[in-house]
């Protein structure tokens, strides 16, 4: 009964994590798989938006989320966290970026730290799905145009005017 | 048919400064359209030849994918030509060009000096001007639709369309049909009109702009007494009339308009109402064609769109009556 709850020990990620890790094929076995993912996580932290195969992107995303959440909870004075950061980030200047730039950016964030989109597949290619993986709050222009709620859009103006008309008609009915 | 018209038009163009003579002849609507189209082509060619030695201007493009400087031809290159350098997406989606962050410019109007250039699509943050241009274009194309939709024995004389008012719920074209004194369009006829409209949008015609002198404008619209009355008022400011051509339909509009008819997506011609002129005006009666449209790519549920079409069936009364 004195056992600690596992959910309290491990930071809960805000993305869906598959029950089993994906096996990314590599001649070096599990170590080769981790090396691949380290490269991807490093690239993600460095460039903030990368395009890659869906499988590898989805797998690396989980590690990147975990790394950032560890950094946020423990800060840069915590030795095990620092070791994790040192392991996952192949370029050491990115360790500074993680603690000095990304931690302040995501401290008060209540969503996932990364975002993943399905990318168009090149024609006549092998059947590999592509994805775009990015850190939230990156400096690039947004990939999707979310303007549906912009009230100056022509469809919204028209609907707004129709609503106004309907209301006026109802008020007139009530007054009679 | 072709030869006398070309001779006549060249004569008119040569004498465009002098007073044009107005000849009365009986052309069918289609012949008159062809004639205007022909005169428009000639005048456009003449204006292009007037440019003479080609000078270069620098256009600084701002926006995606990156800022760049394009060296273009003065008075020949249009924002659409700049878009061609940037990619197909820009050509298809840009509706208006914004010069020096202040002037809204047609996509097919030649640039006359060095400037900065931005492209505006329908889903930018501040699309008011683009919407107005869209609504204006819809009205103009509705005129084109009305003039092709009827049989040859029905004379169609376009009167005018008011400035864009999107909140009114429908775009308008006032048309004079002298041979149809009592026409109540059936639902089937409205469907046919809408289908004609869709045909025009599917053709994906570029909307060309041309400024012509008053005399030539009068000659072009000599078969249409409403337009010939309006032209002197329009030309009062600087002696020029701005014409737009969609396919082979030429009409007067202040502009600016959007880039092509392919940018008009969902569209319905919702109603045709009869308007009676006041006693002192010389126009006895007009038909007000109304419709509602959305840009290509605008996402709207079909139920919501049906609300808009139902609303567009009501007659829109203008505060400033044209009649």
pLDDT at B186: 95
CB-based contact A154 B166, cutoff 8 Å:
yes
Give the residue extent of every domain in chain B: 28-52+124-313, 56-120
CB-based contact B166 A157, cutoff 8 Å:
yes
Q: Write the pLDDT tens digit of every residue in B67-79.
A: 999 999 999 999 9
Assigned architecture for domain B28-52+124-313: 2-Layer Sandwich (3.30)
The answer to whether the predicted template modeling score (pTM) of the entire model surpasses 0.80 is no
CB-based contact A152 B131, cutoff 8 Å:
yes
Any residues with CB less than 8 A from the CB of B234 and at least 6 apart, and which? Answer: B241, B252
CB-based contact B127 A159, cutoff 8 Å:
no
CB-based contact B123 A150, cutoff 8 Å:
yes
CB-based contact A153 B127, cutoff 8 Å:
yes
pLDDT at B14: 55
Chain B residue with CA closest to A150: the answer is B125
Distance of CA A173 to the CA centre of its chain: 52
Top-confidence residue, A14 or A126: A14
Q: B239-250 burial, b for 16+ CB within 10 Å, e for fewer?
A: eebbbbbbbbbb
Average pLDDT estimate for B75-91:
94
- According to the 3-state scheme, what is the secondary structure of chain B? CHHHHHHHHHHHHHCCCCCCCCCCCCCCHHHHHHHHHHHHHHHHHHHHHHCCCCCEEEEEECCCCCCEEEEEECCCCCHHHHHHHHCHHHHHHCCEEEECCCEEECCCCCCCCCEEEEEECCCCCCCHHHHHHHHHHHHHHHHHHHHHHCCCCCCCEEEECCCCCHHHCCEEEEEECCCCCCCCCCHHHHHHHHHHHHHHHHCCCEEEEEEEEHHHHHHHCCCCHHHHHHHHHHCCCCCEEEEEEECCEEEECCCCCCCEHHHEEEEEEEEEEEEECCCCCCCCEEEEEEEEEEECCCCCCHHHHHHHHHHHCCCCCCCCCCC
Relative to beta strand B115-120, strand B56-61 is parallel
Q: Kindly list the residues from chain A whose CB atom is less than 8 angstroms away from the CB atom of residue B168.
A: 161
Average pLDDT estimate for B133-144:
96
Any residues with CB less than 8 A from the CB of A40 and at least 6 apart, and which? Answer: A50, A52, A56, A57, A60
Q: Write the pLDDT tens digit of every residue in A28-38.
A: 999 999 999 99
CA distance A35 to A60: 11
Q: Write the pLDDT tens digit of every residue in B109-132.
A: 999 999 999 999 998 989 999 999
Question: Are B28-52+124-313 and B56-120 in the same CATH fold?
Answer: no
pLDDT at A124: 83
In this predicted structure, which of A140-149, A154-163, B211-220 has the lowest mean pLDDT?
A: A140-149
In this predicted structure, which of A85-89, B8-12, B203-207 has the lowest mean pLDDT?
A: B8-12
CATH fold group of domain A9-141: 50s Ribosomal Protein L17; Chain: A, (3.90.1030)
Split at pLDDT 50, 70, 90, the class of A6 is confident
Q: B216-226 burial, b for 16+ CB within 10 Å, e for fewer?
A: bbbbbbbbbeb
Whether the predicted pLDDT of B82 surpasses 60: yes
Q: Kindly list the residues from chain B whose CB atom is less than 8 angstroms away from the CB atom of residue A153.
A: 122-123, 127, 298
In this predicted structure, which of A47-51, A65-69, B284-288 has the lowest mean pLDDT?
A: B284-288
Whether the predicted pLDDT of A141 surpasses 90: no
CB-based contact B127 A141, cutoff 8 Å:
no
Whether the predicted pLDDT of A148 surpasses 90: no
pLDDT at B319: 56
CA distance A136 to A115: 6
Q: Write the pLDDT tens digit of every residue in B166-216.
A: 999 999 999 999 999 899 999 999 999 999 999 999 999 999 999 999 999
Distance (Å) of CA B39 to CA A138, B215, B245, B254: 54, 12, 11, 19
Assigned architecture for domain B56-120: Roll (3.10)
Chain A residue with CA closest to B166: the answer is A158
Could you report how far apart the first and last alpha carbons of chain B are, in Å? 36
CA distance B122 to A145: 11
pLDDT at A12: 85
Please identify which residue in the block is written with the tokens 């024609």.
A123
Whether the predicted pLDDT of B17 surpasses 50: no
- The CA distance from B206 to the nearest CA of chain A, in Å, is 22
Whether the predicted pLDDT of A152 surpasses 80: yes
Number of A:B CB contacts under 8 A?
Answer: 55
The H-assigned helical ranges of chain A are 6-9, 30-47, 54-74, 79-88, 93-97, 103-106, 154-175
User: Does the CB of B300 have a partner CB in chain A at under 8 Å?
Assistant: yes
């Amino acid at each position: 009964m004195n056992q600690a709850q596992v959910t309290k020990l491990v930071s809960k990620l805000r993305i869906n994590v598959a029950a089993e890790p994906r096996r990314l094929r590599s001649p070096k076995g599990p170590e080769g798989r981790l090396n691949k993912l380290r490269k991807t996580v490093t690239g993600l932290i460095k460039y903030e938006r990368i395009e890659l195969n869906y499988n590898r992107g989805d797998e690396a995303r989980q590690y990147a989320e975990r790394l950032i959440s560890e950094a946020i909870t423990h800060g840069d004075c915590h030795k095990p966290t620092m070791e994790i950061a040192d392991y996952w980030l192949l370029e050491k200047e990115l360790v500074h970026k993680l603690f000095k730039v990304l931690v302040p950016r995501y401290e008060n964030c209540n969503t996932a730290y990364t975002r993943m989109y399905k990318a168009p597949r090149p024609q006549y290619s092998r059947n590999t799905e592509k994805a775009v993986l990015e850190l939230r709050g990156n400096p690039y222009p947004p990939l999707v145009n979310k303007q549906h709620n912009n009230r100056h859009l022509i469809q919204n103006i028209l609907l707004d005017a129709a609503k106004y008309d309907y209301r006026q008609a109802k008020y007139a009915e009530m007054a009679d | 048919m072709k030869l006398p018209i070309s001779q006549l038009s060249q004569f008119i163009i040569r004498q465009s400064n002098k007073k044009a003579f107005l000849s009365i002849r009986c052309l069918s609507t289609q012949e008159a359209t062809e004639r205007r189209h022909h005169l428009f082509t000639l005048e456009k060619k003449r204006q292009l030849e007037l440019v003479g030695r080609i000078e270069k201007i620098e256009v600084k493009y701002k926006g995606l994918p990156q800022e760049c400087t394009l060296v273009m031809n003065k008075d020949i290159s249009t924002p659409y030509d700049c878009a061609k350098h940037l990619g197909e997406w820009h050509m298809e989606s840009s509706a208006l060009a914004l010069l020096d962050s202040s002037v809204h410019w047609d996509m097919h109007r030649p640039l006359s000096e060095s400037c900065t250039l931005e492209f505006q699509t329908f889903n930018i943050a501040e699309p008011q001007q683009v919407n107005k241009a869209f609504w204006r274009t819809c009205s103009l194309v509705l005129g084109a639709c009305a003039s092709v939709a009827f049989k040859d024995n029905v004379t169609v004389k376009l009167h005018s369309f008011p400035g864009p008012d999107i909140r009114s719920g429908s775009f308008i074209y006032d048309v004079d049909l002298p041979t149809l004194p009592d026409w109540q369009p059936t639902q089937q006829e409205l469907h046919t009109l809408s289908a004609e409209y869709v045909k025009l949008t599917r053709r994906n015609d570029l909307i060309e702009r041309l400024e012509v002198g008053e005399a030539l404008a009068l000659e072009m619209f000599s078969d249409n007494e409403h337009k010939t009355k309006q032209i002197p008022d329009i030309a009062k400011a600087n002696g020029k009339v701005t014409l737009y051509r969609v396919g082979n339909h030429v009409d007067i509009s202040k502009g600016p308009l959007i880039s092509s008819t392919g940018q008009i997506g969902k569209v319905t011609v919702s109603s045709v109402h009869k308007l009676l002129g006041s006693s002192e005006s010389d126009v006895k009666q007009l038909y007000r064609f109304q419709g509602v449209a959305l840009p290509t790519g605008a996402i709207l549920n079909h139920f919501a769109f049906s609300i808009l079409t139902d609303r567009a069936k009501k007659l829109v009364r203008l505060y400033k009556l044209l009649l």
